[in-house]
Amino acid sequence: MDSKFRRYTPWPASDTDARALFENFETALQTRRSLRMYSKRSIPRTTIERLIGLAASAPSGANKQPWHFVAVQNPEIKRKIREAAEEEEKSFYGGRATEEWLEDLKPFATNWEKPFLEDAPWLIVVFRKNYDVEANGSKAKNYYVQESVGIACGFLIAAIHAAGLVTLTHTPSPMGFLSEILGRPSNEKPFLLLPVGYPADGAEVPDISKKGLDEISDFI
Ligand code: IYR
């Protein structure tokens, strides 16, 4: 494709608007937490469509958009995903994980049980596309796939929170069962599983904190 440019519209229009918008955004993101306890309250499909639309607005290598999102609402499919995930987690907690890893997980009090995979009204399963398959069957390269899909997931997590909903960056390991249950082609690999819903009444989160700016940055 030849290059073709159009003018960038600066946004927001003024510094005052920028400050107000940033402060809202900052307050919103500062209250985000990963949640494991979900209410069964439903969420309309249109909300999930808008959230995925925002995720897909993320930058990606050569704008290849090497991702695919499967939004699961069907209770039968959610049950299959939960059963398969719990099977993997049983072997993780029952011996596959190192002592160090299990020690690191203690503050989160996690175990093999994953009720949120059925309680949350939606599961968004994100797949990364290592390459694309064109209409004639030939392979087309994608670039910086992990980085691109990671950024899209960051957008998605922020968007879910901005919508007043909660999620968890869940990575049952290994995740091959998701390709099988959801019937995805072999150029796609499962990347993340995000339950999306409202918090359960009285939901709790671990009392943990983030590192300070001085620990994570240098200004030179
Ligand atoms: N996938 C397991 C274990 C797990 C691993 C990490 I790293 C976490 O931050 C949390 C859990 C599970 O979901 O229980």
* Residue 192 alpha carbon to ligand 1 centre in Å: 12
C-alpha 63/C-alpha 52 separation (Å) is 16
Tell me, what's the pLDDT at 135?
Answer: 92
Pocket of ligand 1 (CB under 6 A): 89, 92, 105, 108, 110, 170-173
Q: What is the pTM of this model?
A: 0.96
What is the pLDDT of the chain when averaged over all its residues?
96
User: What is the separation of C-alpha 92 from the centre of its chain, rounded to a whole number of angstroms?
Assistant: 21
Q: Look at phi and psi of residue 99 and say left if phi exceeds 0, alpha if psi is from -120 to 50, else beta.
A: alpha
**Mean pLDDT over residues 53-76, rounded?**
98
| Structural domains in the chain plus CATH codes | 35-198 (3.40.109.10)
Kindly give the distance from the C-alpha atom of residue 36 to the centroid of ligand 1, in angstroms, as a whole number: 11
Supply the residue whose CA is at minimum distance from atom 10 of ligand 1.
Answer: 105
Q: How confident is the model at residue 1 (pLDDT cuts 50, 70, 90)?
A: low
The model's pLDDT over 114-131, given as tens digits with 9 standing for 90+, comes to 999 999 999 999 999 999
C-alpha span between 3 and 162 (Å, rounded): 35
Whether 167 and 205 have beta carbons less than 8 Å apart is answered as no
- Pick the atom of ligand 1 nearest to 173's CA: 1
Which of 105, 106, 192 should be mutated for ligand 1, with most atoms under 8 A from CB? 105
Ligand 1 centre distance from Cα of residue 171 (Å):
7
Lowest mean pLDDT among 15-19, 96-100, 106-110, 114-118: 15-19
Q: Specify which residues 67 forms β-bridges with.
A: 128
Taking the CA of residue 97 as reference, the ligand 1 atom at the shortest distance is 3
Mutation choice for ligand 1 from 98, 104, 110, 194, CB with most ligand atoms inside 8 A: 110
